[in-house]
Structure 1
């Protein structure tokens, strides 16, 4: 309440309102009210003071005050004595001392908002001090209520209006706040309405409004704004994030910001051909990842408002070299003195390094995928081992060059093994073949015709 001649302090029930003095002169009787206007808070206590003077004699007689009264609104054309009226019962006191009387009213109600007059009665005259003091009983704002329009589901991109209202006298001023991640309130705007145009997912959260006037401030209950939206671009993570070795377990995880929550589907790419989904869970799990599982994967996130596909992620499994294959060039019979090229290859990731050794020789014959022997001679015959190795392991294959005795050419036979077992089988088969050939030769000689001499 504003006024140069008025001041007050208001709070909870029991707080007394003290007032500055403003003099009001009433005819020959002096009357001074503490204030002509008072504002007080509902439920509190107010004191209205009036000091008075009067003539000590009147018409030659001693003049004394016989009674003091406080009056208010008129009933039946008569002013109401506050100290005896039922509406004030138990709530008022009239305290007088040294020509100053104080009307104390407790537990103020809005119906106490009227004008109050002080009256004195002497032996010969009753004086009512008018104008009196006007009391206005106000209240701090009631807890404000918040409404949202539209009241249905709020989709991203739509417009939303929040309205704050409170029963307050004097009228309240409104301020909007939003709760941040630390449960603190951040200022949004002022005014009874908060308008959010093209609302975004980041606008989701709890909102509050406060209603303030000179008598206090009240905050509303929180209202939660839940913005629904289609899935954002899904992200894909791989565990373990480091190098993946063949046989290890691998988990691919798909996640997307979506409201309502997204459903997920995993796919593996195969050129332009669409493959059936691998799983409809957010995680794709491989208990033992194999070379055949290598490739590109992607996931799709879906909800009622839309669908979004992730970027493709390549999974490249690492593995030790597989059993090497060995080839010889030329592949036909090789004449003595010609060059021979041996080539070794193995499926490995990372790529394998190659080494060549000759049976019964400890020294390295060559490094690299290709080993060339120029001017091939009988002493070059024997078994050659190709080793393929990377950081995950090693695998070997053996190649045997055999020279057929008594021939000017050599027959090349290739046997590949990692453990040398096939070499023993080859020697055994060659032994059987030689024995069979010798037996066949003996049988042929036994059937040659024998010349017989006839005696005459």
Structure 2
């Protein structure tokens, strides 16, 4: 059961019933051993005593104390914190303690100590009185009404139902509000704050309640950090009641799910995918605020690059082609292009451009991306360049003299992409002789002799070989002898012309000095022949060798 006692216009709550203690004939009675009082009020701790029996016994000295210092009981009236606020009463065996202008620091356990004038009899009860001093505070509750919050002025000590209250908004008294409840709109202006006090004790107002202030976000150790390091984001906001925190990461979506709750967002080993914009939301029962964004830059080595080639899958010789290398890296990577392990391009951008690609550019390419944190190579990319056939070459097997009835194989080869189709032709014939890279004459005869060529063709163009002559062995000897005879005749004709010119010059006389006879040559390289038969005989003697007469048939 709780008892109450009025004290100077305020209320003190007695939390336990009357207690009587006795020793050595002394009797001390406390009204209660537990009292709850509101800060700023005056409390009376009820106390009465009965000395030992006898007509001459009376109280010589009585004190109240809360602590003992070096075995001495410290009288409250001598303590500076209680100066001017403590009053003892000794009337009619009354030992009541009165403390005014209560402070929360006055919360303690109090004892009464008595001494007799007649005898050195002292008494301190085994039990004291526990005093709890509390202030008023504003309790915030969500209202059932939409976008409303209910403020309740209350104390841990139950205040009388007849108590009236004073409400403050931004330090201004709100007239017309004397009840313990006060309604406000949810999420008011961030600068708004509310407090209350019990009427008559305005100097002991409650702490203010208010929605969260604009939160600030900090990052440690730095917003620019290397992948794998520990990073902590901290969100802070002034709010009463205490606020809850929720972290978000922007990802381009209009509605974002909560990322993490709590005032701190900790990355024990931050990853490149953690780069981005973060913000926190702070909320209590009065409102909600959102912080500004903070961008986290995670530095990391290049990830494996991707490579691509522009234009169509079939790139023709002479066309413009661009190889592109790209990778995720922070800071941005520099790129090097290689062809078959040979450097072909180095630059800050990953594009390698062929203004007019050629067949020699065909091959395997790869790129390397690197920054200050590392380097990595891409997979290999094959660049296929398509082009018309190059001029074909023709080979003949066997290469020795071909006899009648033997097998002859002609092979045509041309560099082309895509691969060329081959067609064989014989000189002075309109129709093709065969198709395919290899042309075989299984039984070679005289009519097969002649000049052959091949043509190589793909969808991009065509190219023909030069003529290649193939004849039988006998024909080859005859043609060779005829060729030799023709050359010899041509030489004789040239010699005859030379001789005629020389004879003409001899007919002209010249002297370097007067009366000097004309010199004559002892040897005449150009004799005069009487007839053509003599010329033929000489030619035969000069050109004919033993054993060759029978070959020239």
TM-score by length of structure 1 reads 0.65
Shift of 1:189: 1.5
Asked whether the equivalents of residues 301 and 308 of structure 1 are also in contact (C-alpha less than 8 Å), the reply is yes
In structure 1, runs of 5+ residues without a counterpart are 52-107, 118-129, 414-429, 450-456
- What is aligned with 2:294? 223
**Which of 199, 212, 218 is the matching residue for 1:116?**
199
Query: What is the DSSP-based 3-state SS (H/G/I as helix, E as strand, rest coil) of the residue aligned with 1:292?
Result: helix
Matches of 2:358 and 2:159 in 1, distance apart? 107
Matches of 1:431 and 1:409 in 2, distance apart? 10
Q: Is residue 436 from structure 1 mapped to residue 436 from structure 2 by the alignment? A: no
Shift of 1:408: 3.0
Shift of 1:136: 5.8
Matches of 1:160 and 1:317 in 2, distance apart? 50
Structure number with greater CO (CA < 8 Å, separation at least 6) is 1
Q: Is residue 323 from structure 1 mapped to residue 451 from structure 2 by the alignment? A: no
Asked whether the equivalents of residues 116 and 135 of structure 1 are also in contact (C-alpha less than 8 Å), the reply is no
Matches of 1:110 and 1:367 in 2, distance apart? 99
Q: Is residue 410 from structure 1 mapped to residue 476 from structure 2 by the alignment? A: yes
Shift of 1:111: 9.3
Query: What is the DSSP-based 3-state SS (H/G/I as helix, E as strand, rest coil) of the residue aligned with 1:187?
Result: coil
Deviation string for 1:274-300 (max 9, x for gaps)?
Answer: x34523241111111112211111111
Identify if the C-alpha distance between structure 1 residues 16 and 217 changes in structure 2 by more than 3 Å, giving closer, same or farther.
closer
Matches of 2:232 and 2:146 in 1, distance apart? 35
**Which of 142, 147, 150 is the matching residue for 2:213?**
142
Shift of 1:311: 1.0
Q: Is residue 279 from structure 1 mapped to residue 346 from structure 2 by the alignment? A: yes
Map 1:349-388 onto structure 2 (within 5 A): 349-388=417-456
Q: Which has the higher strand share?
A: 1
Asked whether the equivalents of residues 116 and 132 of structure 1 are also in contact (C-alpha less than 8 Å), the reply is no
**Which of 210, 226, 249 is the matching residue for 2:320?**
249
Matches of 2:446 and 2:350 in 1, distance apart? 65
Identify if the C-alpha distance between structure 1 residues 390 and 167 changes in structure 2 by more than 3 Å, giving closer, same or farther.
same
Say which is worse superposed, 362-371 or 225-234, in terms of deviation: 362-371
Map 1:2-17 onto structure 2 (within 5 A): 2=139
How many pairs are equivalent?
347
Map 1:46-445 onto structure 2 (within 5 A): 46-49=174-177, 113-117=196-200, 137-151=208-222, 153-182=224-253, 184-270=255-341, 275-280=342-347, 281-401=349-469, 408-410=474-476, 435-439=486-490, 445=537
Identify if the C-alpha distance between structure 1 residues 342 and 182 changes in structure 2 by more than 3 Å, giving closer, same or farther.
same
Identify if the C-alpha distance between structure 1 residues 202 and 220 changes in structure 2 by more than 3 Å, giving closer, same or farther.
same
> Which entry has the higher C-alpha Rg, 1 or 2?
2
Query: What is the DSSP-based 3-state SS (H/G/I as helix, E as strand, rest coil) of the residue aligned with 2:433?
Result: strand
Query: What is the DSSP-based 3-state SS (H/G/I as helix, E as strand, rest coil) of the residue aligned with 1:211?
Result: strand
Matches of 1:156 and 1:295 in 2, distance apart? 36
Say which is worse superposed, 336-345 or 201-210, in terms of deviation: 336-345
Matches of 1:293 and 1:188 in 2, distance apart? 51
In structure 2, runs of 5+ residues without a counterpart are 1-137, 180-190, 494-534, 542-553
Aligned residues: CA RMSD: 4.2
